[in-house]
Amino acid sequence: MKATNYQGMLLPPDPNLNDLQELAPDYEAMLLSIMTVLADRYEKTTDYPFIDTKLDLLTGKDFSTDDLVRGRPTIYGWIQGRGLEALAGHCSWMRRRGLNKDLLQRLETILKEVLQSIRDIRQRNQGHLSFFMTPKGEAFSLDDTGNRVIFTMEKDSPYGTTDLFSAKGIYKAACYLGDETLVKEAVFYLGNIDSAIWSGKFVNDQKQLDPKNPVEPRPGHFPHGSFMLQIGTAALLAENGDRNAVEMGLKHIRHELTHYINLKNKIPELQEYDMWEAIDCDNQPYRNNGKIISDPGHATELVGLILKFLQTLEKKDLLEAKQQKECHKLKGIILKVFFQNFKNGYRAGPGGICKSYDLVSGHPINTDMPWWNLPETLRVAVLGHNVAENVNDRQHCLSIFSKCHNAFTRHYVLPNRFLMAVQTRNAKGHAIAVIPATPDADPGYHTGLSIIDVLNLFDSWKSVS
């Protein structure tokens, strides 16, 4: 299937705002195409009330139902939670823009049904969700031979990353549907997760599906991911006018800046504004055989979430005078974090951002380039342009946008596969069957929600031009 109304426009190396705004029809076509395929796939099976993106984008075929990792017998809690947030975000955008009312109605039905499915599974699991689940809602892991090991979740089971994604999705869906009772339920869920993060009882429940991407917990290794994601949570809460979100988000930002970013040259052997993935028991950068590992995509994602949070606080007029000063100072700092870590990660030759980078040697470690960090960086670039205080920084943001847009359009977006993006490419630029987090294709989370924020910024530029 080839999406209509998509031209695959590219940008000059140093674009202006008008050049960027010319991309809006392509981006709109991309989002609507992806949402249409989500709706089509969901409606094909009445006995599978889950978001289904179990599509091999390299071949165009569905994964086999016999495949316990890739096939439909495994429900990924991450995808369902992210998918709920994405569905609600796309519905809000489509309703605001008056786009495709028939598709909007279909998506709203799917949103309600998937929301109910996830709430039912959470109830069966004593208030939790798991990375791997069966369609019946059973949590499981895989043993060394690849077989399922079902386990029971209890009320006092630790909250994990799947809970965080799911709580955000439930909250966003409840806000869109205007269900105040469910909004309160989701806020309580999010509050429990936040408490678990700060008390050290939160776990990353992601299971490693790529040998080059170690993700499971290990002693003395404390990654920043949950703090970063909670800045996104705070932005969602702030969008709904929750004043408690202000200090919640700022607390997570302070923690990230203090522990994971090289401010004031506190680690002299590194570059200023470098960001590392984890700290050790002494709150120092975690070292693995002398290497300090950074994920440049995560660094730019962090900057995007911070900028979105700050933009939301200003739009909703939630800041007190003291907080305004802190937020103004933050903008200049994190823009420098963006520039430094993009420089570390971007590979101009193949066009993409590497998965991991050694800050000590200044060389990539995992040279694979996942798709998700490019749309995330597009969001950062336009948000960064809005807060940059000088012409050079503004143009630098636009130039980065051009690099990422052109790489994404040329090498990742598949016009003959619904304008979805191939998940991973290697250092030679070839698409490869490497799973960045889950084999399920993106349900509009990294790509769609990032691009919706880009389109919203385009609209704001028009209104002041």
State percent of the chain over pLDDT 70: 98
Q: What is the pLDDT of residues 236-274, one digit of tens each?
A: 999 999 999 999 999 999 999 999 999 999 999 999 999
Listed in sequence order, the residues at least 6 apart from 162 whose beta carbon sits closer than 8 Å to its beta carbon are: 77, 78, 81, 128, 129, 130, 131, 205
**Cα 144 to chain center, whole Å?**
29
Residue 313 lies in a domain: yes
Q: Strand, coil or helix: what is 61?
A: strand
Torsion of CA 390, 407, 346, 297, to 10 degrees: 90
What was the pLDDT predicted at 5?
Answer: 86
Residue 453 lies in a domain: no
Tell me how far apart the alpha carbons of residues 103 and 80 are, in angstroms, rounded to a whole number. 20
343, HSE (Cβ side, Cα atoms, 13 Å): 14
Q: What share of the chain is helix, strand, coil (3-state, %, to 5)?
A: 50, 10, 35
Residue 1 lies in a domain: no
* Range of the structural domain that residue 297 is part of: 222-413+421-436
Listed in sequence order, the residues at least 6 apart from 291 whose beta carbon sits closer than 8 Å to its beta carbon are: 358, 359, 360, 361, 365
Q: Strand, coil or helix: what is 457?
A: helix
Structural domain count of the chain: 1
Residue 395 lies in a domain: yes
Q: What is the pLDDT of residues 99-118, one digit of tens each?
A: 999 999 999 999 999 999 99
The pTM of the full predicted model, rounded to 2 decimals, is 0.97
Instruction: Give CA angle at 185 (183, 188), nearest 5°.
Output: 110
Q: What is the pLDDT of residues 152-207, one digit of tens each?
A: 999 999 999 999 999 999 999 999 999 999 999 999 999 999 999 999 999 999 99
What was the pLDDT predicted at 1?
Answer: 46
What was the pLDDT predicted at 465?
Answer: 52
Residue 5 lies in a domain: no
What was the pLDDT predicted at 216?
Answer: 83
CATH number at residue 368: 1.50.10.10
Tell me how far apart the alpha carbons of residues 246 and 339 are, in angstroms, rounded to a whole number. 26
Residue 380 lies in a domain: yes
Q: What is the pLDDT of residues 371-396, one digit of tens each?
A: 999 999 999 999 999 999 999 999 99
Q: Which helix (H) or strand (E) holds 107?
A: helix 101-124
Rg, Å, the chain Cα set? 21
For the segment 435-452, the average pLDDT, to the nearest whole number, is: 97
Residue 386 lies in a domain: yes
Residue 87 lies in a domain: no
For the segment 18-35, the average pLDDT, to the nearest whole number, is: 98
Put the strands of the sheet holding 148-151 in their side by side order: 75-76, 132-133, 139-142, 148-151
CB 444 within 8 A of CB 87: yes
